[in-house]
Amino acid sequence: KQEVTQIPAALSVPEGENLVLNCSFTDSAIYNLQWFRQDPGKGLTSLLLIQSSQREQTSGRLNASLDKSSGRSTLYIAASQPGDSATYLCAVTSGSARQLTFGSGTQLTVLP
């Protein structure tokens, strides 16, 4: 059974700092990995989708990398801003290929 872990559960950084969020998964036979952002009381917003054949994806100040062999992905946020404060979740598609397994998320706070 696929398990997805995100450490730390919470992170607080000053504005302007570059930061890395971590995601690890136990079964490396994945089809893709996705990073999401969730603001309080809201649904999840897709940030980046990395296919299993890719090593990284970039969108603006966000860069996600994937190392399938080690079962790890990182989300790099450059020049963090208070508006980046949210919970970030990663999820992998594996097994039946129709379902995603989610991590429990990292709650990020960017201090002004």
Partner 1 sequence: DAGITQSPRHKVTETGTPVTLRCHQTENHRYMYWYRQDPGHGLRLIHYSYGVKDTDKGEVSDGYSVSRSKTEDFLLTLESATSSQTSVYFCAISESIGGVAGELFFGEGSRLTVL
Residues at the site binding partner 1, with contacts judged by CB under 8 A = 31-32, 34, 36, 41-46, 49, 89, 91, 93, 97-100, 102-105
Nearest to partner 1 of 25, 80 (CB atom): 25
Alpha-carbon dihedral of residues 78, 84, 88, 94, nearest 10 degrees? -60
Contact assessment for residue 56 and residue 49, using Cβ atoms and an 8 Å cutoff: no
Least distance from partner 1 to the Cβ atom of residue 80, Å: 24
Nearest to partner 1 of 18, 58 (CB atom): 58
3-state SS, residue 60: coil
Least distance from partner 1 to the Cβ atom of residue 66, Å: 15
Do you find a cis peptide bond into 8, omega within 30 degrees of 0?
yes
